Structure 1
Amino acid sequence: MHLIIKLIFILTGLSNDPPADFILGSWYTEEKAALIGFSKNEQGYFGEIIWLKDSLKSGKTKVDENNKNPNLRKRPILGIPIVWGLKYEDGNWEGGKLYDPQSGSTYNCQIKVKDTLTIEVRGYLGLPAFGRSVYWTKVEK
């Protein structure tokens, strides 16, 4: 499949691998329940929740109530980092962490390009084979 993606990038005028900054911008989660904004800093690429379809719960702002750290359970979900520490290597973003606010768990993370508008976000423990992928869609300008 990676070969097909490279071919798409070649045919569309991009290099063999997506550029490192391809991931920057806004991405809808698989169920379009949230929008994740990707940026980069000296630690690597990171993404935070910039929009929620349902930002209220019982008339109040949704908070990170499932966080394993009790000190973080009152912070609003909107604006929290959910992906961080990703480094670009050989056409993929690897070595990062992925936080799932629904479970309060943090996983290892890698991201691969599926096509010019879709990325595969894989959260896992130990090895990538022991994980789960979701697919996020780029917000077109």
Structure 2
Amino acid sequence: MKKIFFSIVILLLVVTSSFAQNANGDKVIGVWLSEKKDARIEIFKTDDKYSGKLIWGVEMYEADGKTPLKDTKNPDVALRTRSRLNLVFISELAYDNGAYIDGHLYDARSGKTYSLKMKLKDDNKLEMRGYYGISLFGQTFTWTRVK
């Protein structure tokens, strides 16, 4: 009987900590302003992964100011006609113990994809590091939450 009781208690602790971790991870969900203040990005969750899409940017439209730029540098020829507006360029971020890891960052200007990790510095500051290969070879930038 004691074994069953302890098994139930352990199971409840594991499930409860899993829910708490997911709730903490969701703090990143929302709209963020890039470091250069030239883009707004919406971070959202799909299943247990976090992604980000470009919802506004200075470099999003053709000279007419109305026609969204296309993803012309994409290595996949079939995707070169898609719009940069609402382009999901952050994907596969997993929340793990206060950090978002194992993500991908797609740069539409170059057509390259980088590894990505990020961490909330506080409720309104998001520190991100995009890198190629190992984190040492990368760039860190900070976004601010849009209220």
TM-score range, shorter chain: 0.7 to 0.9
Amino acid at match of 1:135: T
For residues 79-106 of structure 1, give each alpha carbon's deviation from its aligned partner in whole angstroms, at most 9, with x where no partner exists: 1101111111110100110111111110
Gaps of 5+ in 1: 1-14
Of stretches 22-31 and 56-65 in structure 1, the one that deviates more from structure 2 is 56-65
* 1:111 counterpart = 2:118: yes
* 1:35 counterpart = 2:43: no
TM-score of the superposed pair, with normalisation by structure 1:
0.81
Aligned mates of 1:113, 1:48 — CA distance in 2: 18
TM-superposed CA distance for 1:127, in Å, is: 1.5
Aligned residue number for residue 50 of structure 2: 45
Give percent identity, aligned residues only. 34
Among residues 98, 101, 108, which one is paired with 1:91 in the alignment? 98
CA RMSD of aligned residues (A): 1.8
Gaps of 5+ in 2: 1-19
Larger CA Rg, structure 1 vs 2: 2
Higher strand share: 1
Higher helix share: 2
Aligned mates of 1:54, 1:81 — CA distance in 2: 16
The count of corresponding residues between Structure 1 and Structure 2 is 124
TM-superposed CA distance for 1:43, in Å, is: 5.1
Runs of 4+ off more than 6 Å: none
